[in-house]
Amino acid sequence: MTMSILTTSNEIEPVVKIENVSLRYHVPRERINSFKEYAIRKVQGKIVNEEFWALRDVSFTINKGEVFGIIGENGAGKSTLLKMVARVLKPTSGRVWVSGNVAPLLSVGAGFHPELTGRENIFLNGTLLGFTQKQIKGKFDEIVEFSELEDFIDAPIRTYSSGMIARLGFAVATDSKPDILIVDEVLAVGDEAFQAKCYERIENYQAQGMTTLLVTHNSERIRKVCHKVAWLEKGELKMFGGTDDVVNDYVKTIKPGTRKASDRPFFTKRRF
């Protein structure tokens, strides 16, 4: 029996590069809302902006096919980082480099209009996500089938249940395999059966080389699904590396009692 060492070519190919990224928000010490007030204070030299650094000099690389976790307390800068990968925010300094298209699952059902039908909303939502009319036409039937809404597709979605809306949103956002999928916290998409279907799709895409970015403060979930983890604390990269190393250290900093029991695993960890 011979063991082939070179079964697959597992070249390491970076898809996301975060290089010395900092992001500064200007938070006015006092809210100045009117122009008059602004003008008066400007003259008096009393405009003081408090600087708030949501991220400070963060660097790491995510490689193709990885399930990459970002862990940290609330306000550590996790969501800010995701928004930069999703192009929503640009860094104040440093560089964000992303290869491939990004599907943010934080936007499931973005811009759905209650008075429009399911059909109309598929097109509206799809174009909001950056697809063209033609692309959506091509995958329309598949979206409807996956969301299991064949009988309701021409009814206004104000008549849908929240589960049905979530199903439709997920179906539109993930119909074609993105290169990078961004998942923020829990994936709440309808009932258990449908949720299983969503995970199956995600795992399928992962097997085809999709990179996943998962943000959570649930360390157990990270441990189950992630290959690599970045730990953010107050906007700084505290630790970066293999899942067990990072999570073990992270857990030590959490006071006992605040840890939540883990839910079901997100998706199974795949071996490279």
Q: Which residues bind another protein (CB under 8 A)?
A: 25-26, 33-35, 38, 83-84, 86-91, 95-101, 104, 106-107, 110-111, 113, 115-116, 120, 123-124, 127-133, 156
Closest approach, Cβ 41 to another protein, in A, equals 12
- Considering beta carbons, is residue 97 or 191 the nearer one to another protein? 97
Residue type, position 212, single letter: T
- Considering beta carbons, is residue 116 or 251 the nearer one to another protein? 116
- Considering beta carbons, is residue 124 or 251 the nearer one to another protein? 124
Rounded Cα gap, residues 228 and 268, in angstroms: 14
Closest approach, Cβ 38 to another protein, in A, equals 7
Rounded Cα gap, residues 195 and 187, in angstroms: 8
Q: Which residues of 96-127 are buried (b: 16+ CB within 10 A; e: fewer)?
A: bebeeebbbbbbbbeebeeebebbbbbbbbbe
Closest approach, Cβ 3 to another protein, in A, equals 38
Closest approach, Cβ 221 to another protein, in A, equals 22
Closest approach, Cβ 182 to another protein, in A, equals 10
Closest approach, Cβ 12 to another protein, in A, equals 18
The HSE-up count of residue 48 (CA atoms within 13 Å, CB side) is: 4
- Considering beta carbons, is residue 112 or 250 the nearer one to another protein? 112
> Helix/strand/coil (H, E, C) string of 10-36?
CCCCEEEEEEEEEEEEEEECCCCCCHH
Residue 57 CB partners (closer than 8 Å, separation 6+):
20, 21, 22, 94, 236, 237
- Considering beta carbons, is residue 54 or 225 the nearer one to another protein? 54
- Considering beta carbons, is residue 137 or 264 the nearer one to another protein? 137
- Considering beta carbons, is residue 92 or 262 the nearer one to another protein? 92
Q: How many residues can be counted in the chain?
A: 272
**Nearest Cα to Cα of residue 234 among 56, 50, 28, 90:** 56
Closest approach, Cβ 99 to another protein, in A, equals 5
Distance in angstroms between the alpha carbons of the first and the last residue of the chain: 22
Is the Cβ–Cβ distance between 166 and 126 less than 8 Å? no
Is the Cβ–Cβ distance between 148 and 195 less than 8 Å? no
